[in-house]
Structure 1
Amino acid sequence: MEAIVLAGGVGKRLLPLTQWRPKPYLPLAGKPLYMYAVEQIAMVRGLLDRAVMVAPPGHPTPPGPVPGWLAVVEQRGEGVEAGLSTALERLSGGEEIVVSFVGYLARPNTLVRHVLDYYSVTRYKLVLALAPVTRGGESFGFVDVDPSTGRVLGFSGDREEWMAGRGRVFAGVLAGDTEALEVLAGEGFVEGINSLARRGLVGSVVWPGEWLEIGYPCDLLEAPGLVIGAGAAVISSGARVARTSVIQGGVVVEEDAEVGEGAVILGPVYIGRGAVVGRNSVVGPGVVMEEDAVVGDLVSIEGAVLLERAEALGPARLRSVIVGDDGAIPPLSVAGGRGGCSVVAPKARLGPRATLEPGETYS
């Protein structure tokens, strides 16, 4: 058995958050997105002879740790087909290969094993994991399936068709033999699946757990519930947490983070290494603060993501907002409402008393 982690995409739909770094390297709760796909593969490490991760063109060195058992190779060309071709050239040509795409989140961490268990007892040349469309604005692709057998009848990468169907979507993991993957690499990902499906060679298995794809910026707001959960608080011994603060629910506070006097943190919340929550602020639920992010004094913030070194200064009232690396929201600002999230581009520093409208990007 061999494995591929496809991390070669740049994430154009995630712009402006991916303006200076590709999607697989975007942080989420303290680790880059590619690590979530790697962790799925790691659950079947004992079955693997070889594994390779395909890195984005021009970005051959991942920013975080990569397990020693996982080789990294830079993708040549664009698209899923190029990623598969690059990986297949690096692998030894084993008969069975499992592929984990970067960009989905699944809980528990057993989606890859779920697919392999089904693949091992069928005669399909290719098996796709499927998830119901329940949230998010993008999908790896809409899948038409015979409900009685699970056989895939067709696959579409067309977003409009997927939105109209609102049925099952490809959940970012597949297993197949080398010949099937060579068809996908040679004929095109969508075209290759449909070619095999017309011959009755593609099966599917539905993932029963939680699932989300990170396709657009607002999808990040749905991630805390999956990656943090609702368990007890986990506070690093190196964090500085004021005695008068209140921390409840699934809250993670990393090394060197600081929580000020009178602050209230209601999970699920992630407070990254070196991040700061000011005095008398209310944070959560659904807030992610990446490394060195700052929530100032007297800020009420909920359902928000602050990427590395981003700032939300108080007093302010903020809901459904994403702030890119080194971006800043000034004091006396307001964000939140129906109609989507507000996005502050990396390095954008807004003027005083800003009012951020849902669905708008500020640069």
Structure 2
Amino acid sequence: MRAMILAAGFGKRMQPLTLHRPKPLLQVAGKPLIEYHVEALAAAGISDIVINLGWLGEQIPRTLGDGARWGVRLHYSDEGTPLETAGGILKALPLLGDHPFIVVNGDIWTDYSLSVISRRSLAEGELAHLVLVDNPVQHPLGDFRLADDGTIGNVGASLTFSGISILSPELFSGLSSTTGPLGPLLRKAIAEGRVSGERHGGRWYDIGTPQRLEELNRLLDA
């Protein structure tokens, strides 16, 4: 299985911290946020990792190199102008291959073990498997409902998408534009009954503002 780290966004809500540095390179407990994801994927046995590049993207390969220090191969998908989530994944599909792959948002921090999802396979007909978390203060209504049987649909607890998933390349086969968000594709697949999920009850942070970054650093320094 291969994996992709989404790292191409502008990080506008993180300004001024992102005026001269892409958000995935912001420091968390003394090292760039994106390194936590590379380390976690390497520990999960993922050897090929794709990273998309956008705003100040040239800084990321300069920082991470080819991945040899973690025993992985890093591949870069340079978007120039960011293509949003679905567009960025669509552009990177030639690097990700024909089989389902892991996707991790580059602007989260979590203690979820990626070894768990790396051992999972999509069931026949499934297009996606999502890791969900309890709704944070800044997102109280959540994103999706998770039923007791692990399906995502119209019943069950309302939870927030963690930004960690397994996606099938088939999910993007109907994409009519090379730029766009992932949400509409997931909702269409959910309506068709082709998405499953799991709940992570541990720690998870969406690094969406400087205040949340500061809070996470205080937590990890404690």
Shorter-chain TM-score tier? 0.7 to 0.9
Q: 1:115–1:205: 8 Å Cα contact kept in structure 2?
A: no
Partner of 1:99, secondary structure, is strand
| Counterparts of residues 199-214 of structure 1 (less than 5 Å) | 199-214=192-207
Partner in structure 2 of residue 33 of structure 1:
33
Matched residue SS, 2:102 = strand
Is 1:80 the counterpart of 2:85 in the alignment? Answer: yes
Tell me: CA distance 1:185–1:90, structure 2 relative to 1, closer, same or farther (3 Å): farther
Task: Kindly provide the CA deviation profile for residues 300-328 of structure 1, in whole angstroms up to 9, marking residues without a partner as x.
Answer: xxxxxxxxxxxxxxxxxxxxxxxxxxxxx
Structure 2 residue identity aligned to 1:9: G
Letter in 1 for 2:192: R
Partner of residue 64, structure 1: 63
**Which has the bigger relative contact order, CA under 8 A and spacing at least 6?**
2
Indicate whether 1:13 and 2:19 are aligned.
no
Partners of 2:122 and 2:56 in 1: how far apart?
40
1:285-312, Cα deviation, whole Å (9 max, x unpaired)? xxxxxxxxxxxxxxxxxxxxxxxxxxxx
Asked if residue 55 in structure 1 is aligned to residue 57 in structure 2, the reply is no
1:221 aligned residue? 214
Superimposed CA distance per residue, residues 231-264 of structure 1 (whole angstroms, 9 cap, x where no aligned partner): xxxxxxxxxxxxxxxxxxxxxxxxxxxxxxxxxx
Contact 1:210 1:226 in 2 (8 A): no
Q: How does 1:113-192 map to 2 (within 5 A)?
A: 113-117=115-119, 119-120=120-121, 122-123=123-124, 124-135=126-137, 137=138, 142-153=142-153, 167-183=158-174, 188-192=181-185
Secondary structure of the 1:81 match is: helix
Where in structure 2 are the equivalents of 1:223-238 lying within 5 Å?
223-224=216-217, 227-228=220-221
Instruction: Quickly say closer, same or farther: Cα 1:44–1:94, change in 2 above 3 A.
Output: farther
CA contact (8 A) 1:125 1:202 kept: yes
* Aligned sequence identity (%): 24
Cα 1:76/1:86, change in 2 over 3 Å: farther
Q: 1:37 to 1:59 in 2, by over 3 A?
A: same
- Give 1:204 shift: 0.8
Deviations 1:42-86 (A, max 9, x none): 2223x54x3211122442231523413112232243211232123
Three-state SS of the structure 2 residue aligned to 1:20 is: coil
Counterparts of 1:184 and 1:227, CA distance in 2: 40
Structure 1 unmatched runs, 5+: 155-165, 229-267, 269-363
SS at match of 2:212: helix
Task: Tell me how far 1:7 sits from its aligned partner.
Answer: 0.7
Q: Which secondary structure state, in structure 1, belongs to the residue aligned with residue 81 of structure 2? A: coil
CA displacement at 1:191 relative to structure 2: 0.8
Report the alpha carbon displacement of residue 101 of structure 1 after superposing the two structures with TM. Answer: 0.9
User: SS at 1:83's partner residue?
Assistant: helix
In terms of fraction of residues, the more strand-rich structure is 1
Number of residue pairs aligned between Structure 1 and Structure 2: 210
Moved more, 168-177 or 13-22: 13-22
Cα distance change on mapping 1:174 and 1:130 into 2, 3 Å: same
Change in CA separation of 1:195 and 1:60 when aligned onto 2, cut-off 3 Å: same
2:192 & 2:174 partners in 1: Cα distance?
Answer: 13
Counterpart of 2:111, as a letter, is R
Are 1:106 and 2:110 counterparts? yes
Q: CA deviation at 1:30?
A: 1.9
- Equivalent-residue separation in structure 2 for 1:56 and 1:138 (angstroms): 26
SS of residue matched to 2:167: strand
Q: Tell me the secondary structure at the aligned position of residue 87 of structure 1.
A: helix
2 CA distance for matches of 1:85 and 1:174?
A: 15
1:199–1:104 CA distance, 2 compared to 1 (3 A): same
